Amino acid sequence: MDAPMFTPLEMDPAWKILYNKFHDRDYGNIITKDEITLALPKHRHPRGAIYRCIKEMEEKDNKSLKSERNRGYRVMPPGQHIEVGAFRILRGTRQVKKGDHTLKATNVSLITPTERIQLSNMKSRTSRILCAMRKRVVEGEQVAVKEKVEVNMTDVERRLKRIEELIKKKKKIRA
C-alpha cells in the first residue's frame, strides 16, 4: 500500500515545460522542432502549448518567437517585433474589412428573421470595430507627427547651437 493510487504523467502543463526550457534563449536562436519534440515526448501536436509559451515569453521576458518553415521557431530580436506586430495587425484589419464586405453582400430577403437579427448585430459590431481601428490609426498618426516634429525641433536647436559656436569662434579669431 506504499505505492500511490495514481501517478501524474507530467507535473507541469506542456506550455510551462516549453517556457521553462526555452525562455532564456538569446535573440536570433532557433528552437528546433526536434527540441520541442524532446521536451514534450507525449504530445503529437503541441501547437497550443507553443502558442501559450509564446504568450508567456512576450509578457514575462519581452521576447517573441516567429515560425521558421521546416526548422522551428526563431527568437525574434526586438526590432523585428515591430515589423511582425504591424503585419499581424494589418492582417487582422484586412480580415475585419473582408468580414464587413461579406455581411454587406448578404441578400436580406433570403434569410430568416432570426438570421436578420444576427446579421444586424454583426454589422453593428463590425462597424464599431472598424470605427475604433480608424480612431487608433488617426491617434497613432497624430502621435507620430508630434514625435517627428519634436525630433526635428531638437535637430534644428542642435544645429543652431553649433552655428552660434562657430560664429563666436570666428569673432574671436578676427579680434
Q: Give one word for 109, left, alpha or beta, with left for phi > 0 and alpha for psi -120 to 50.
A: alpha
Is residue 57 domain-shared with residue 128, that is, in the same domain?
Answer: no
Are 68 and 18 contained in the same domain?
A: yes
Average of per-residue pLDDT across 24-45: 91
Inform me whether the pLDDT recorded for 12 exceeds 80: yes
pLDDT band with cut points at 50, 70 and 90 for residue 5: low
Range of the domain at 29: 14-76
Portion of the chain with pLDDT greater than 90, in percent:
39
Instruction: Give Cβ neighbours of residue 66 (< 8 Å, ≥ 6 apart).
Output: 73, 74, 76, 80, 84
Q: Which pairing describes strands 30-32 and 72-75: parallel, antiparallel, or unpaired? A: antiparallel
The pLDDT confidence band at residue 175, using thresholds 50, 70 and 90, is: low
Structure confidence at residue 22 (pLDDT): 95
| Integer angstrom CA distances of residue 152 from 6, 60, 139, 142, 143 | 68, 35, 20, 15, 14
pLDDT at 45: 81
Task: Determine the average pLDDT of the residues in 150-175.
Answer: 76
Length of the chain: 175
Examine residue 66 and state whether it is found in any structural domain, yes or no: yes
91/28: higher pLDDT? 28
Mean pLDDT computed over every residue of the chain: 83
**Looking at 26, 48, 76, which one is the last position of a domain?**
76
Q: How many domains does the chain have?
A: 2
CB-CB neighbours of 99 under 10 Å = 16
Q: How confident is the model at residue 60 (pLDDT cuts 50, 70, 90)?
A: very high
Alpha-carbon distance of 40 to 45, in angstroms, equals 10
Asked if residue 103 and residue 60 are part of one domain, the reply reads no
- Condensed to tens digits (0 to 9), the pLDDT of residues 99-111 reads 888 888 989 899 9
Residue 6 lies in a domain: no
What are the residues whose beta carbons fall under 8 Å from the beta carbon of 103, sequence distance 6 or more?
A: 119, 122, 123, 126
pLDDT band at 17, cuts 50/70/90?
A: very high
